[in-house]
A and B are shown apart, each in its own frame.
With several copies, the nearest count.
Chain A
Amino acid sequence: MKRVIYLDNAATTKVRPEVVEAMLPFYTENYGNPSSVYDFSAPCKEGMAHTRETIAKALGADSSEIYFTNGGTESDNWALTATAEAYASKGRHIITTQIEHHAILHTGQYLEARGFEVTYLPVDETGLVEIAELKKAIRPDTILISVMFANNEIGTIEPIREIGELAKERGILFHTDAVQAFGHEPINVDEYHIDMLSASAHKLNGPKGVGFLYIRKGLKLRSFIHGGAQERKRRAGTENVPGIVGMGKAVEIALAKMEENKKKETELRDYLIRRIMSEVPYTRLNGHPAKRLSNNANFAFQFIEGESLLIMLDMEGICGSSGSACTSGSLDPSHVLLAIGLPHEIAHGSLRLTLSEETTKEEIDFTVDCIKRIVERLRSMSPLYEDFVKSREKKDIRL
């Protein structure tokens, strides 16, 4: 089998063996429906309760504030649509940012088509939301601010505490899409004044198809999916018990190893960035130099297009991404890269590499060597590079 260097941990992660082990008994032994009264279902209820407590503890929340969902996208949809509906009598204005995940942006559009107004805040060239801009955007009828904890493409970590404080001061609800941050960065919902928080298990070495929404006690949100009385009547549908148990285990381990992994990944990532920036000319580092997820590196290589780069890396067994995974196949360049001010042709040439605790220095070295070679090759085929070289030659002649 071909060796694979997996550097796309922002797209999804490998499930830990301990997580799979924790899930297994819930398929063929403790397979009961957690809503049932009999004893046979007790392990399901206990398993779910344990996950709820683990997550609550991780966030400094109460376990009754954790609602299991199918993933980050559902959590985001729920938070926005239910808040809009519950607080429509107070106002119909929502503030979010231009660099949110599509799960937020498209839900925002859905609400706009239904009579809500959504402000999409710009960000600075590092991807940071500016508090001054946020302040300007707040109106008397603003009911919700939704700003992601960390961006999935460029890794920028937003000033969540300041935003939370401002939201609280103004009596506006605050939701954060922490799909990329939860389990990777320390988060405390009280310290940061977070009212709602979305997360997804498969971004922290847990299984796909399970996530949660934290909803602060007292918020009057309707359910998003209607039916049975599960999740204290707020989220209907037979619960994905193995998935929930797996998520609990994944969160437990992620928290225990957070500091160690952050340190390790930051070092390796910085090494990667240093090598690329010094060895590949006409390259830009996207995102914030310091306020960024410890495993995220995002480069823009001028004059080349990202998909070709990805395919060539793939032929070497290297998994990376250009834009976010969900929008692959789309012809638009990443909305995030455009929002931080990149011109189209440069936005098209971006490469995101996201490390895991298993990534080695040797893998990084191999990857950098491949990138150098491939970028050079693609530039030699690029009409944009040809034009650039020719105009530079002209200038040289003129000088």
Chain B
Amino acid sequence: MYSEKVMDHFQNPRNVGEIENASGVGTVGNAKCGDIMRIYLDIDEESHVIRDCKFKTFGCGAAVATSSMATELVKGKTIEEAMQVTNKAVMEALDGLPAVKVHCSLLAEEAIHAALWDYAQKHEIRIEGLDQPKSDISEHDEDEEY
């Protein structure tokens, strides 16, 4: 059901863990839909470069893999660049996701945004294109409807 890339990122997730005194932390998802993601960012205040990024995820294989891939994609990027990392980019980097798992990639995007929002709040800055994250992400309905 999962691509090899997804399985790889699930089995060997990159960047698992916490960052003490992180520049920004974001937690999204909820237990009801079965996925919770928390992203820690370490951001250079001058250059706005994401020096480090870690995650913790409660969720299915796709949730873990998208978290892992999302952290890989934003690490080393500036905030502005990180804002361009969409759920589509995460999915593509993972060679796709089953239709019922697409919401995981949305959740990963949302988690990055939540962590950035946290950073922006703490530093009282505005990040172009970033709105206050919903406290949790709504379930996107399954693809097909009969």
- Contact residues of A with B, CB < 8 Å? 37, 220-223, 232-234, 303-305, 307-308, 311-312, 315, 329-331, 333, 343-345, 348, 380-386
Contact = CB atoms under 8 A, between A and B. Distances in A.
A139 to B, nearest CB: 28
Given A307-B61, A308-B61, A311-B10, A381 B34 contact: no
Contact of B146 (A220, A333, A345, A384): A220
23 contacts: A37-B1, A220-B146, A221-B146, A233-B146, A305-B35, A305-B58, A307-B59, A307-B61, A308-B63, A329-B100, A330-B100, A344-B30, A344-B34, A345-B31, A345-B58, A348-B31, A348-B34, A381-B58, A382-B56, A383-B57, A384-B31, A384-B58, A386-B18
A383 B63 CA distance: 13
B58 A331 contact: no
Nearest to B56: A383
B37 interface: yes
Nearest to A330: B100
Contacts of B59: 305, 307-308
A386 B11 contact: no
Interface string B31-42: 111111110000
Interface in B82-137: 98, 100, 103
Given A345-B36, A381-B56, A383-B36, 5 more contacts: A222-B146, A232-B144, A307-B60, A329-B100, A383-B58
B56 A386 contact: yes
B27 interface: yes
B139 interface: yes
Contacts of A385: 58
Contacts of B61: 307-308, 311
Contacts of A37: 1
Nearest to B7: A311
B100 A381 contact: no
A343 B30 CA distance: 12
Given A305-B35, A311-B10, A382 B57 contact: yes
A303 B57 CA distance: 10
A221 B146 CA distance: 7
Interface string B7-37: 1001101001010000000010011111111
B64 A381 contact: yes
B146 A381 contact: no
Contacts of B64: 308, 381
